[in-house]
Structure 1
């Protein structure tokens, strides 16, 4: 049995686990492409499965779609992301991801410390913000 080189939107949904609305959105945003049949139905090249997988994996670690698009713009429009492409993209994002991880760890550690006192008040807490000294720095969470 021959493998179809093009997939309908329903087949893409089934294979990717991504709703059709997301595929149409990705297409509007220039992240993926399809061709239209004479009946105006979308047909996706099989290689779009890898592009969608790349998009979803990137989103799952918090990479914004605008940044994903910038990286995908380095690929020819009809080329799937390769292992080498993914390695280069992840290297570009390593610094940002490490920064996010460090920030989340700080938030976890400080939040846990505060919850330990039992008051649940960031403004009044004598452990994290004695005498509300952080108010002088302006509104918002200053220590997190």
Structure 2
């Protein structure tokens, strides 16, 4: 059978959307390794059922969860933050439109806060590059005599000024 015929057969074949997916199916559909799926499961980000032979079976809505995990990783969102957001979603059935809307609004707020922090850091770095640290009085990284120790670790002036 030609490659085009195989593609055509796949396209016309009806998919039983109630049938769970094997781990191989999820790997093929998401590009995520089995070890990553096991890790996500241990972290409570996804869940599976077991067959009598102890093979994992996944509901189809797991594909969306895994896809969101991959997008979050690309955006630099930690798995802990993903887990926090996913706690608002049901694990025993596909989330409703309202569930996804609630989650997306929460994520949007987090991304907006992160964007503000990045923009503030970008402004500071542009200033640093522009001054070349010739102006030690204006530099937000300056901490003479460790006077800022009581305010916490790291570049506290930058963190304080870039807080949303």
Q: Which consecutive unaligned segments of at least 5 residues does structure 2 have?
A: 1-12, 159-164
Residue equivalent to 2:15: 3
**Normalization by structure 2: what TM-score?**
0.67
> Shift of the alpha carbon at 1:23?
0.8
Structure 1 counterpart of 2:148, from 134, 137, 142: 137
Structure 2 counterpart of 1:93, from 103, 107, 117: 107
> Shift of the alpha carbon at 1:28?
1.4
Q: Secondary structure at the match of 1:43?
A: strand
- State yes or no: 1:72 paired with 2:86: yes
Please tell me whether the aligned partners of residues 49 and 56 of structure 2 are also in contact (alpha carbons under 8 angstroms).
Answer: yes
> Shift of the alpha carbon at 1:46?
1.7
Once residues 115 and 51 of structure 1 are traced to their aligned partners in structure 2, the CA distance between those partners, rounded to angstroms, is 41
Residue equivalent to 1:14: 28
Please tell me whether the aligned partners of residues 134 and 142 of structure 1 are also in contact (alpha carbons under 8 angstroms).
Answer: no
Please tell me whether the aligned partners of residues 85 and 107 of structure 2 are also in contact (alpha carbons under 8 angstroms).
Answer: no
Q: Which consecutive unaligned segments of at least 5 residues does structure 1 have?
A: none
- State yes or no: 1:52 paired with 2:63: no
Please tell me whether the aligned partners of residues 55 and 68 of structure 1 are also in contact (alpha carbons under 8 angstroms).
Answer: yes
- State yes or no: 1:128 paired with 2:139: yes
Please tell me whether the aligned partners of residues 148 and 156 of structure 2 are also in contact (alpha carbons under 8 angstroms).
Answer: yes
Structure 1 counterpart of 2:46, from 32, 47, 57: 32
Aligned CA distance change for structure 1 residues 46 and 100 (closer, same or farther; 3 Å): same
RMSD (Å), alpha carbons: 3.0
Q: Secondary structure at the match of 1:143?
A: helix
Please tell me whether the aligned partners of residues 22 and 56 of structure 2 are also in contact (alpha carbons under 8 angstroms).
Answer: yes
> Shift of the alpha carbon at 1:66?
3.7
| Residues paired across the two proteins, number | 141
